Structure 1
Amino acid sequence: MTKARVLIVEDDASLGEVLEYNLRQEGYETQLARDGQQGIREIRLRCPDLVILDLMLPLIDGLEICRLVRADAAIQDMLVMMLTARSEESDQLVGFSMGADDYVTKPFSVKVLLQRINALLRRKDQSSADRDIVVSQGIMIDRRRHWVTVGDEALDLTPSEFDLLTTLVRQPGRAYSRAELIDVALGDDAIVLERTIDVHIRALRKKLGGHADLIQTVRGVGYRFRDPSDAAAV
């Protein structure tokens, strides 16, 4: 089964590292953002299953991030857990009114927090069993089985190619820079040239065959997956 992906948006470095360590011990894939601006960028780039969101963040606060998530059709269904020192009832009401799925106040028990995270993700799995299947313009991606088909043909993709294609197909029409795609496909610790992503894209297009033109080059930026509405207009 595919590991759930959790993004932690927390400016307290020690707390963020504690959360990352414990979530990884539970089998989750994690990413850590240290301010609100980085947080919303990582949310839009990685489309995590759950965002653990501090409210008092530099640059963009947590409530604004939650508002932006719920206003964006591409990411509005992801789970948001607010994690904050604001413990007044009025603060919690504001958090839930902005679209939070859960609201946890500091200080907290890590064990209890993990149970609440597990419960949120179980409910998500039960209510949307098909969310890990993405279908667009003849391409079907099944994240749980790590399986891609074009028409009736299964593709043999490397992990990097699979991650690239999944990222592009999830948000058709959105232009991704090469740096963003390196983060997604190769990891943000990878030390590679931006042109390395071009090699992966060429290999992916070759495997897509007659569907290769769905991955479009954005001059001076990077790549995008063709928006179905653009195809309909042709």
Structure 2
Amino acid sequence: MRSILITGGNGGLGLGIGRYFLEKFPEDRVWLGVRSNRDKAEALVAEFEGRCRVVDLEVTSKDAWEKAVETIMAADGQLDVLVNNAGAHQDSLLATMTDEAWSSVVSSNLDSVFLGCRAVIRPMMGRKFGRIINIASLSAVLPPLGQTNYAAAKAGVVALSQTLAKEVARAGITVNSILPGYIETEALSHMDADAAKLAKRGIPMRRFGRPEEVAVAVGFLACQDAGYVTGSALKIDGGIF
């Protein structure tokens, strides 16, 4: 049995990752870290009753992380996999970017990963096993205009993952990051048909990725057989970069 915590567990990517574990690995227990808008997360819980639960988690709060980990440890006695998936963006050119837009995006995308990794390291070290998968973005290595805050935060996630991987390698814990490109989630819902068509022209595969295609990569990095894979940054982008 593995106990798995996925942040951003109410969004398309988080739900897709959670569903993958629940469908492919009958012994797994999945915790969906959610701050608000629980309906879709609760639907997955109902579908996999007894194996999937929602845990309150404001990812930018140290206290919330500690409480969430305590809740999971009390219920399962272990926490094997952390998928740091929560994030947000507020795009604008740097010259007009507000202080709030900078600090909010950096906090939700980078501070959250720092807090989450720190919160789970001790219980993972206690079992000499752990898998941490941090969802970054292709923007970390191929940043578009208007995303100085988001790109900087996601680049920080990659660097944090690579550094932490070295620090905990001897404890049996691996730390990797995934850099998705365009994935069919609510994050792309604002794109009109013309913008979507233009975006696809820049993708060698000429299509957007699907959440389940990211979930498969997360599943591999979380498995026992991926024990020698750590500090990696895996792009899932249809060949853009």
Structure showing the higher helix proportion among its residues = 2
TM-score (norm 1): 0.41
Which fold has the larger relative contact order, with Cα–Cα distance below 8 Å and residues 6 or more apart in sequence? Answer: 2
Compare CA radii of gyration and give the structure with the larger one.
1
Instruction: Decide which structure has greater strand share.
Output: 1
